[in-house]
Structure formats: C-alpha cells, structure tokens
Structure 1
C-alpha cells in the first residue's frame, strides 16, 4: 500500500482537534479480519492496524458491522451482537459487552460507548432501526457497567453521534419509514443530563428533502465547544446538499457550505472552519467546497469509513 500523505500534510495549515484520523479499509484478509490506517497529523505519519476476527469464531455474525475510537485512540467495534476492544499491538480483541443483539448504531466518545439496538429484531435486519423496540444504552468501556438511556416511545435512531464533552447525543428519528412521501426525518439532540430530546431540523420526503443515508458514518459533527451541531441536508429537490450549523444556545441555523454532492458523504469531519470529506477515492479538506486539498489518496485499498478525532 502506498500513502501519499507527507507532502500534503506539510501543506495543511488547519489542524484537527487531536490530529488523528482513522480509516477502515476493505481488507484483503477478507473474513479473517479487517484493516485500519491511523493518520497522525502532528507527526505526519500513517500506520496500518489489523483487527483479527478470531474472537468471532462460532459467532452468528462473523464480521465487523460498526466501530468507533475511544480514549487513548483505542478502537472499539461490534459484530452486531457484542462489543469488543481492539489490541492494535497484536490484532486481537477483547470482549467488553455481550447480548446486545441487534446493534443498529455505535458511537464512542472517551471512556463510553453508546449503543442503539433492537432486541425484538430477531432477523438482524437493519430496517429494525425503524421498528418499535429500539433501545439505547451507555457502556462504560473501563468497567463494563451499563446505563439505559430513556427514549420516548416510538423513537428510532440512525446516524448517532456524541458531543465532544459527552453531554449530548445527536441522531435522526424517522417516522413513517418506507411510506413514500409520508416519510419524515427529524434531526434531534438529546441532553443526557435532563434526558430530553429536541428537534433541530426536519426533512420531508414529500418535499424531496433528506439528511444523509442511514448507513453513513459521522454524518454530523460538533463545533466550537459543542455549541454548534454541523450537519448535511439536501433541500429543494437538489441532489446536492448544504452544510448547516445549528446554534444550540441561540436556537437558529445558518448555512455554511453549498453544493456538496451526497456521494462525498462517506463521512465528514469539521475543525476550525475547515471540512474534511471523502468520496470514493480520496480524502480531502476544503473551506469553501471548491478549493480542495487532498491528504490521502487510494491506490490498492478501498476506504470504507473514516473517523476524525
């Protein structure tokens, strides 16, 4: 594998929050495991990490479905049933939590993992995230202790994120799923202290509006001391969308960036007025959506997702 990284990192003046980007690759090892790349912005290095699937021997689901990065740049992941901690030194994984079937969303921040799952979804169908019975739990990654998070009846969860201070969650709650123009998506922020949720924005299928695909990772980001939620939305029957910032204190949104193709939304990161995107063959940064600086180029590998810390 080749990394076209050093020259571009030298040219990048805008720094990431903790200067780390993790990429999950389509692994040549196939069912034996999956590969990651960890990019260190400060040291201008990239190293490959491997996650072996030996721990999944005899499991009903024998591959990784979701992953996240916690304190100490440790990767945590799930196969849809259990939660594991990766030892990047040797590629092995340790069981952290079990009996979570069927995991629909995983978001990690610091020493906690937030898992949305639907125990009534016996067929392990991803559409179960839109079905009754979705539960949300916070797992202490050090002790394994669990705390159920209250959800109002009928709440569904996709595109789950955690604020940097760990005090809020964001997610999309979909109503009338798969009912044509009746389908409506509600972008919500959940306050973990007060255990209340509020709607920030709404996307209506009847108006040809949408946020992002439910299978995409990192579709919202937190900026400026978690006061703003940065997110993507397509409006006015336009296949290209815009980036918005919602001020959680002022209660207003403003448009930051226009004409962002949905194909670029494998993931995104945001730091100091700079956006970090990927499309099918490269990762790049941009301030205005027009001038783009590439900092990672695909050669023999296919990037599946990325996480900016």
Structure 2
C-alpha cells in the first residue's frame, strides 16, 4: 500500500478519494515550506495547513493532548526533535519509504526523520585568514585565535549540538577545556545570530565565526547582506577523529495525528526525490537522499565528509553539553 501511495505522489496523480487536510506545527516560517506543500497538494489534492509555532511547541501539544489538531511537527535541530520525542507527544512511524533517510539521520525508534542537512562550519575572512589556517574544531581553542573569534551564544541549539558532538568524540574533561579555550579566544561577548557574526567579520571585529552553511545562501540573496557574505569563505572543519558536524531539519508525527493516513503520505512525499530537490534548493540545504544532487550554489561551497556520530546520540548528550557550557559561563 505504501509503495502504491508513494508512486502516486511521484506521478503527480490526484487522489480525490483520500483528499483531506494535513495540519503542521512548524518551527520554520510557513513560506519556507510553501513550495513543498503546494507541490504535495497538487499531487494529491490534500490541503496542508501550517501553523508557525516558534516557542512552546511541546507545552502546546501536551496541553492539547488527544484533541490536538496537529498531524506533523516540522522543525530544525536534533535537539528540538529529541525534545518532542522525550515529551511523549510523537509516535513511531514504521514505513518502508522513510528508510531512504540514512540511519544516522533518523531516530533509532523512528519517531523523527531528517529531511535536509546543514553543516556547522567556519566562516573565515578572505583578507585575514589564509587557506588551510582552519582545519579542525579542536583548533578553535588554539591561542593563535585569541581575540579573533565571533559566535552566537553557545547556549543556542546549534552550538549545543556541536558541543554534544565534541563530547561524543572527546569526553567531558576535554570538552570543558575546549569550551574554555574558545571562550578565551572570543573577540566579543556571544550575541546575535550566525549572520550577525559574518557582519562582524566584514566590519573587522573578528576573523572567523561558527555558522550553518545555508546562511551563506540567505545572505547572498539579501542586498543588504550580500557584501557580508562576499567578505568570507566557507571552511569545512572536521573533528580530529571524524568528519564535519551536520544537523538536520526534520519531521515527526504527533501522537494525536487526527489525519494519520494523509500525514503519512506527506511524510513519504517529503523524502521523495521531487520534494528533496525543492526543499534543498529553496533553503540552500543538503538533501538527505543520495539520489538528489545539491543545488549549483551549494555545490560551489565544496565537498566535505559528514561526521559519523549519529544524531540520536547527539540528542541524548545535549543536556550534558548544555551543563558544560553553563559551567564555564561561556555566554557570560
């Protein structure tokens, strides 16, 4: 049955007998998802309603309980995906079509699935940082970077996930030393977004920053920020015993899911080649499917080897990572 449904989606065949609504609670702005949901509706006749829930998603789902109208959760960062699972507001999805998502990019119990990936990389000044000067995440704690690093707060989800990955590779003691080393190298107090750090490099306030790859695409399409983007290049650092840290945008089915069958069709569509191309190109991200090429702009950033630590392990280590960040008073 699953194969038949997926084949129908990919063939853009309308399914009026199954037509109904699918309701999404999303941490991402609805306009970022609209190209995907429009393509799904055209293929199936199923309407997709997206509610932007920036904060309090878990609390909202818990309060709604079995009466929740939400069928799917779409969010970014493994921490948020792990949070909704741990809160008991999702359900496992045992579906053959979803196995196209690599094992390391989905929950071990099939509660959530990665849809796209983004690398946590270094933005480096083209003028003040030589090629090859940045190679590893470990290197960021080297005193040679003293007064040269900018970053958003390390208590933010993206940096907590990076710290959890470091913890998986090196253990608690070395991770704490690494955090203290980076803090000693900061040019200024952590604040703002990843894009704000690139602006600081452009302004000469620092030489390197941590950021997600897709922000390069976002900055290049913004007339005000294009000059910032053009002042830096993307560097893919690695762990000394691993690859480049990646995170995901992902999807999970809610425990209530009043339109479960239609929601499952949407999940299958999201991992299809068609949707993977739309999602990756619209948001300058990497598709999770090996069958789908990156956009030309994303290809121009270069090749890298993703780290081999499973995101489910990173999710489990997140509380410990956040504790270490707070212990060194990184953002203070």
Q: TM-score, normalised by structure 1?
A: 0.25
* Greater C-alpha radius of gyration: 2
Bigger helix fraction: 2
Q: TM-score, normalised by structure 2?
A: 0.24
Bigger strand fraction: 1
* Structure of greater relative contact order (alpha carbons < 8 Å, 6+ residues apart): 2
